[in-house]
Structure 1
Amino acid sequence: MPTQSVPGNFHKKAFAALLVAASAGATCAESTFDAVKASYRSSDTQVLDRHGELLQRLRTDATVRRGPWVALADVSPALRTALVLSEDKRFYQHSGVDWQAVSAAAWGNLWNRKTRGASTITMQLAGLVDTDLKPSTGGRSVVQKIGQTVAAQQLEGSWRKDQILEAYLNLVPFRGELVGIAALSQTLFGKAAHGLDAREAAVAVALVRAPNAKLAQLTQRACGVLQAVEAGADCAGLDLFTTAALQRKAFDTSEGIAPHLARLVAKDQTNSTVTTSLRAPLQRFAVQTLQQQLRELPGRHVEDGAIVVLDNATGEVLAWVGSSGTLSAAAEVDGVTALRQPGSTLKPFLYAEAIAERRITAASLLEDASTQIPTAGGLYIPQNYDHHFKGWVSARTALAASLNVPAVRTLVMVSPDAFHDQLVALGLPLKESGGYYGYSLALGSAEVSLLNLANAYRALANGGRASPTTFMLNPKPQFRPALDPRAAFIVGDILSDPLARARTFGSDSILGTRFWTAVKTGTSKDMRDNWAMGYSQAYTVGVWVGNASGAPMWDVSGTTGAAPIWAAVMRYLHRNQPSRAPAAPPGVVQQAVAFGGTEAPRSEWFVQGTQQNQFAMVSVASGAGGISAGGLKDLKNRPARITSPATGTIFALDPDIPPNRQRVDFQAEGAGLRWWIDGKAFAQGPSAQWLPWPGRHVVQIRNPQGAVLDSVRLEVRGAGVR
């Protein structure tokens, strides 16, 4: 019967209300202030340096806008006062429910009068803490309101008033995506919550009541709040002020001095605060130094750069500058991880490999002269940076002065594949094989990142031992042998020798420091990349300068682009810290050497067993590409062989050069040699020149009796002489 169904439904609703109220009370009773604060998540990740200083703030949650949790003491008194007067006048007197306000609201509803709601700040907080009490689009149900009342009383029983007010200010939603006073104050007013004045506080509190109200309604409410706090306050201009605030978006998605590193460390992070190994003062100095140096290169068409600083002992990243910031047209590109051609900065590892294999010593003589090296793709003709040749020079001079031709000659001895394997062992993950790069690998034709290259130099600083880099604190580096420690020491000694580099860089180079450092510069093809890589006793610093677009720079060399930045950062690191040369490892000996007039006598380091006291030009033919190991190998005892070209070489005739002006150089080792091609004799001696003709050919060397000593097969493609 209908008369029976009404009481039944009433009892069901009452029972449901009691269940909701009981569950709400239990939820809020379990939700301690510390638990709510601990579960709070900012929409930003704050990246800190090793001492807790803020490096970068980065938005990582796109669904909402929350700032960091703000303590009540850090909220302006104007805002605290305005909020209580507007939302809950008897906040400090009631125990969660303002029964006087409830009575007034009920009486007003009876007479259809508009009254302020009876919901207290504590009740509103209960609705924010317990998801079951959050209103739907039509508002809270009666059952939810009962639960909210019970929950508020539970909160008041276990939380202090200041905790309730603090939690409410951090959890209350404002306009749009803004939640909490930190996000509101930064977005609308461009300041922290402690700096809000009376007008700003009035607008903020008006948004609590009606987050999405129209401008006129919001201004009216803000005026009411302002006058409630200050009787007779002038509201003139408040509409313009409110309009400007609502249009302002001062809370940038990223802000600080380490944006590129922040993006790396913030990935897959659940914590809103991440502590890194960086040093904020060093990071700030590096950013300023990079920007200042680029500003001092006007008209040189260079706008980008990157810096990384590593701790030699731990592998910790101490500074990570990914771009020049506002000076760059591609500031989002991270120059620390981008792949670029390293130029001559790979040469130290090449010479170290050759020394480790005992193919050369630091005193071995290498010829710096025009040469043509046959390859499967044609002739490879290396050139020096200044387009001048120095003649016979020691390996020490060739590396320190960054001469290209001797480096390529050294790579012919080592082989591109062996050098490729050495670079990979040092942590340079090259995309292609050594054969793919060929002899241009000696001059840095492969692409590497600044971070990996700097860590390879760090391996030199650590005596050939390598370990991964990290931007986290207190790592336990796992070192592995990557390079012969004896060769690493000798190469480091060369890179620290100002006299050896003077031939190219002068005696008063920017690379010179008052403390011990080892450094190498590099410039890639067409001046697209400029590098300065080096280390001290404690730190490795890597600098890249160029354009993220890959466009070439204009008249920027190793000493005018990256080197001044490298030197400035090194001076900053060692302003109060000494740097001493490393001790020689076992298996390295020092001996006085003379060069027969090519270089001044000096004391030189050798891998034990390779030392000698005299180095001079040998009279017999040089090896592949004109190589001489300065007396390390006894050429007279070698069997006769063709050293150039290699068998299988394909020569492509250049259509821009008259065919009768093109020649192929043949080189061989041995005495009394006769050259034959396709069964016909055409020259005598250790070398010969041949006018190439299209087709496949067999080249032989024979002794005076006609016996074949060695042979190679080659192919010439293109048009021959008519």
Structure 2
Amino acid sequence: MRVRLARTSLFAIFLIAACARPAWAVATFDEVKRDYRPSDTLVLDRSGEVIQRLRTDSAVRRGQWVALPDVSPALRTALVLSEDKRFYEHSGVDWRAVSAAAWGNLWNTKTRGASTLSMQLAGLLDEDWRAGAGGRSIVQKVGQTVSAQVLEARWRKDQILEAYLNLVPFRGEMVGIDALSRTLFGKAAHGLDEREAAIAAALVRAPNAKAAQVSQRACGVLKTMQAPAKADCEGLDLYAAAALQRRAFDASEGVAPHLARRLVAAQTAQTAGTKGGPNAPRTLTSTARAPLQRFAVQTLQQQLRELRGRHVEDGAVVVLDNATGEVLAWVGSSGELSGAAEVDGVMALRQPGSTLKPFLYAQAIAEKRITAASLLEDSSSQIQTAGGLYIPQNYDRQFKGLVSARTALGASLNVPAVRTLVMVSPDAFHRQLKAVGLPLKESGDYYGYSLALGSSEVSLLSLANAYRTLANGGRYSAPSLAKNPKPVFTPALDARAAFIATDIMADPMARARTFGTDSILATRFWTAVKTGTSKDMRDNWAMGFSQRYTVGVWVGNASGAPMWDVSGTSGAAPIWAAVMNYLHKTERSRAPAPPAGLVQSRTQFGNQGAQPLEAARSEWFLQGTEQTVFAINSGAETQGATLARGQKSSRKPAAEPDAPPRITAPASGTIIALDPDIPPKHQRVSFSAEGRGTRWLMDGKEFARGPQAQWMPWPGRHVVQLVDAGGKVADEIKLEVRGAGVREASVRGSGAAVR
């Protein structure tokens, strides 16, 4: 007998010794809380306010760690009464419950079990004590018991209960009270009532039980919490069944989903291979301002609702701090209004339209090819290219004649921009755009002269940062999603030319010919702004900056479908103006000081008839390029002076007085490319002829009479015939039109689109 007792004692000592070392290695409460990893990442604004919750762990659903005071009293009571009635009395092991369980096992009587909350938490903290498919072994049970007593010795009761509530599996993939309460009940843990608390407590015992079993056990918990006579279990089965059908709350919620994904991707790449792996951390601080982000989202959605009848459903907004490059707002889509809300409009590549023109004119000024007062001819032009004749036009199919470069940029005239690119060359302009941070995929020769009108593809972020380069006097630095960056500036554009281009964009009179003097672009404080519209009205932009901020707005459709009758001032500009006004509710914005090397001189312009081409004004010049008078002589000299290099006149030698009627322009074989920056319904091809009593036929149908004619181009190959007074075909040419024509949907609405 003594030998048997000795063996038993030795076995017990050995068992306790085997379990003691891992049991005593229990982590502290602070360590457990620190190492907790929710399945969601919280993205905070620069002040610590949550702006987005984004699920980043698909293997399990864990919410945020919930402090015990933030758990409803009903749930705390229900859990203790259900799982460990003497929780506040024992020191880790409920020996009365152990005795009752042993007695029940001896007499084969079903009992609640002896596992305390502390013992269950020990099993959650150390996988060595977790039950396997066949339950726990004797060693595991002893180790769990020792660990529970160590926990009780080192942790407070409230810490044990708090950790348990955050680590216990409830149902399916849901772990912790935050995930449970938000998934099944759609509320935070502090809002759970007694009925919901009873269901939660019932799930601890049987996480995957059927709804009927859960409601039955929840009813028992309710009766324990309340007097049995007062416990109301009516309808509990239906309520439990409905709650258990809910599987997950939204994977992402907030006001900055695209910014959150961008930050998480950057953080994952940065922490890959480090301690904690790609899952650390679960809280990220952004550079955004929460109130500004919310305002930008609301303004974008409100504007798009107003434009819904014009086939517009998407948009994006980005706001940059000029000095640091910090992203203060990042709105990637219109959210619920969009058919492709996951597409990030801030990073998507789109044609920028006329928003590239400021960089073109700045480059031409820096190279001293033109000044802001130089006269450029806004007239019909045919530029020979490898693919045929390139014939740019203006938005209203009208030409302004001779205009200054200031007016050409401010009024966003297309033909002078193309003439300016002819001087600069597409390849040199391509290098300039790369210098200001626009990552163009193709070479300048690939885009050709249409590069002046934005035929390349850029992202809203890179375009906004290029405008920030203008705001910083031609100095480039990358945008930043990290707080308090140390921007590294590099010269990308002549500071003097950047100042002149900025001054033009800030001049309401410069854009008056196109936009009027009271357009949405005119702000009560200093700003410089430019709009743009891409081919077939697929993309609409408003880009501009104040003394401190750069704001970029894109409006369109993620699918690339064209909008209907939406212009720069009716599409993106109202959003841009609203965001700018919000930023400057209390902040001032002053014009930049001119850099060294600039002079301001009084300038006059020659006459066109009895009136001067433009009103006299003070103009900015690079030192050494200033002039007091800008004029062009009349007659044949004018033609030679206004044709930029690389252009060819389409005029044929004058016909003899008695010669038969003939077509003088365009030449047969002309290839016409529809302008990428003009809505198709606003484009026209001009024809001219010599002779009297002539009629024009397009593919056999008459479309005009007289020596001059205009025709709205339609894609395809066409035959143009000139018929004399006797009805006989006197001349004929063939031409081809390339590009997209007017769709039936795109001609709805009224009024000309203004860029």
TM range (shorter): 0.7 to 0.9
The Cα of 1:472 is off from its aligned counterpart by 1.5
Q: 1:86-235 counterparts in 2 under 5 A?
A: 86-232=82-228, 233-235=231-233
2:644 paired residue among 606, 609, 627? 627
2:513 paired residue among 464, 481, 503? 503
2:22 is the counterpart of 1:24: yes
Q: Secondary structure at the match of 1:318?
A: strand
Q: Distance in 2 between matches of 1:334 and 1:111?
A: 67
* 8 Å Cα contact 1:366/1:627 also seen in 2: no
2:256 paired residue among 255, 258, 269? 258
Q: Distance in 2 between matches of 1:38 and 1:87?
A: 26
* 8 Å Cα contact 1:624/1:644 also seen in 2: no
Output one character per residue of 1:15-53: Cα deviation in whole Å (capped at 9) or x when no partner.
76335421332221xx00000000000000000000111
Q: 1:510-525 counterparts in 2 under 5 A?
A: 510-525=520-535
The letter of the residue matching 2:533 is: T
The equivalent residue for 2:667 is 663
The equivalent residue for 1:614 is 629
* 8 Å Cα contact 1:40/1:69 also seen in 2: yes
CA distance 1:721–1:235, change in 2 (3 Å): closer
Output one character per residue of 1:181-226: Cα deviation in whole Å (capped at 9) or x when no partner.
0000000000000000000000000000110112221111111111
The equivalent residue for 1:577 is 587
The equivalent residue for 1:462 is 472
Q: Secondary structure at the match of 1:470?
A: coil
Q: Distance in 2 between matches of 1:612 and 1:69?
A: 71
1:57 paired residue among 53, 59, 75? 53
The Cα of 1:9 is off from its aligned counterpart by 11
The letter of the residue matching 1:611 is: E
* 8 Å Cα contact 1:371/1:625 also seen in 2: no
The Cα of 1:251 is off from its aligned counterpart by 1.6
* 8 Å Cα contact 2:668/2:733 also seen in 1: no
* 8 Å Cα contact 1:591/1:603 also seen in 2: yes
* 8 Å Cα contact 1:644/1:665 also seen in 2: no
* 8 Å Cα contact 1:47/1:54 also seen in 2: yes
2:496 is the counterpart of 1:479: no
The letter of the residue matching 1:27 is: A
The equivalent residue for 1:396 is 406
The Cα of 1:109 is off from its aligned counterpart by 0.6
The Cα of 1:663 is off from its aligned counterpart by 2.0
The letter of the residue matching 1:663 is: A
Q: 1:67-78 counterparts in 2 under 5 A?
A: 67-78=63-74
1:47 paired residue among 25, 35, 43? 43
* 8 Å Cα contact 2:256/2:331 also seen in 1: yes
The letter of the residue matching 1:333 is: V
Output one character per residue of 1:467-486: Cα deviation in whole Å (capped at 9) or x when no partner.
01111211111111110000
The letter of the residue matching 1:615 is: F
Which shifted more, 596-605 or 133-142? 133-142
2:372 is the counterpart of 1:355: no
Which shifted more, 609-618 or 115-124? 609-618
Q: Distance in 1 between matches of 2:372 and 2:90?
A: 87
CA distance 1:387–1:131, change in 2 (3 Å): same
* 8 Å Cα contact 2:377/2:642 also seen in 1: no
* 8 Å Cα contact 2:384/2:647 also seen in 1: no
2:594 is the counterpart of 1:601: no
Q: Secondary structure at the match of 1:319?
A: strand
The Cα of 1:644 is off from its aligned counterpart by 4.1
The equivalent residue for 1:692 is none
Q: Distance in 2 between matches of 1:8 and 1:335?
A: 77
The Cα of 1:363 is off from its aligned counterpart by 0.2
The Cα of 1:7 is off from its aligned counterpart by 11
Q: Distance in 2 between matches of 1:52 and 1:244?
A: 36
The Cα of 1:171 is off from its aligned counterpart by 0.5
CA distance 1:551–1:316, change in 2 (3 Å): same
The letter of the residue matching 2:643 is: G
Q: Distance in 2 between matches of 1:469 and 1:624?
A: 43
Q: Distance in 2 between matches of 1:20 and 1:287?
A: 60
CA distance 1:115–1:659, change in 2 (3 Å): farther
* 8 Å Cα contact 1:105/1:117 also seen in 2: yes
Output one character per residue of 1:256-284: Cα deviation in whole Å (capped at 9) or x when no partner.
00001111111206111000000000000
Q: 1:269-668 counterparts in 2 under 5 A?
A: 270-596=280-606, 597-618=612-633, 620=637, 626-627=643-644, 644=648, 662-663=666-667
The Cα of 1:340 is off from its aligned counterpart by 0.2
CA distance 1:109–1:400, change in 2 (3 Å): same
Q: Distance in 2 between matches of 1:33 and 1:470?
A: 37
Q: Distance in 1 between matches of 2:376 and 2:669?
A: 19
CA distance 1:12–1:490, change in 2 (3 Å): farther
The Cα of 1:626 is off from its aligned counterpart by 1.4
The letter of the residue matching 2:253 is: E
The Cα of 1:298 is off from its aligned counterpart by 3.4
Output one character per residue of 1:345-383: Cα deviation in whole Å (capped at 9) or x when no partner.
000000000000000000000000010000111110001
Output one character per residue of 1:637-693: Cα deviation in whole Å (capped at 9) or x when no partner.
xxxxx8649xxxxxxxxxxxx999642899xxxxxxxxxxxxxxxxxxxxxxxxxxx
The letter of the residue matching 1:594 is: Q
Output one character per residue of 1:392-446: Cα deviation in whole Å (capped at 9) or x when no partner.
0000000000000000000000000000000000000000000000000000000
The letter of the residue matching 2:603 is: V
Q: Distance in 1 between matches of 2:153 and 2:84?
A: 18
The equivalent residue for 1:676 is none
Output one character per residue of 1:613-648: Cα deviation in whole Å (capped at 9) or x when no partner.
1101145365698139xxxxxxxxxxxxx8649xxx
The letter of the residue matching 1:116 is: R
Q: Distance in 2 between matches of 1:7 and 1:613?
A: 118
Q: Secondary structure at the match of 1:308?
A: strand
The letter of the residue matching 1:275 is: T
**Structure 2 gap segments, 5+ residues each:** 269-277, 607-611, 650-661, 671-718, 721-731, 735-755
The letter of the residue matching 1:489 is: F
* 8 Å Cα contact 1:108/1:114 also seen in 2: yes
The letter of the residue matching 2:435 is: A
TM-score w.r.t. the length of structure 2 is 0.82
Output one character per residue of 1:549-573: Cα deviation in whole Å (capped at 9) or x when no partner.
0000000000000000000000000
CA distance 1:175–1:529, change in 2 (3 Å): same
CA distance 1:41–1:98, change in 2 (3 Å): same
Q: Secondary structure at the match of 2:621?
A: strand
Q: Secondary structure at the match of 1:340?
A: coil
Q: Secondary structure at the match of 2:170?
A: coil
Q: Secondary structure at the match of 1:339?
A: coil
The Cα of 1:387 is off from its aligned counterpart by 1.2
Q: Distance in 2 between matches of 1:444 and 1:721?
A: 31
Q: Distance in 2 between matches of 1:506 and 1:197?
A: 62
CA distance 1:610–1:93, change in 2 (3 Å): same
* 8 Å Cα contact 2:375/2:631 also seen in 1: yes
The letter of the residue matching 2:474 is: G
Give the fraction of aligned pairs with identical amino acids, expressed as a percent: 73
Q: Secondary structure at the match of 1:52?
A: coil
Q: Distance in 1 between matches of 2:587 and 2:400?
A: 38
The letter of the residue matching 1:352 is: A
CA distance 1:459–1:623, change in 2 (3 Å): farther
The letter of the residue matching 1:616 is: A
The letter of the residue matching 1:247 is: Q
* 8 Å Cα contact 2:38/2:65 also seen in 1: yes
The letter of the residue matching 1:145 is: K
The Cα of 1:157 is off from its aligned counterpart by 0.6
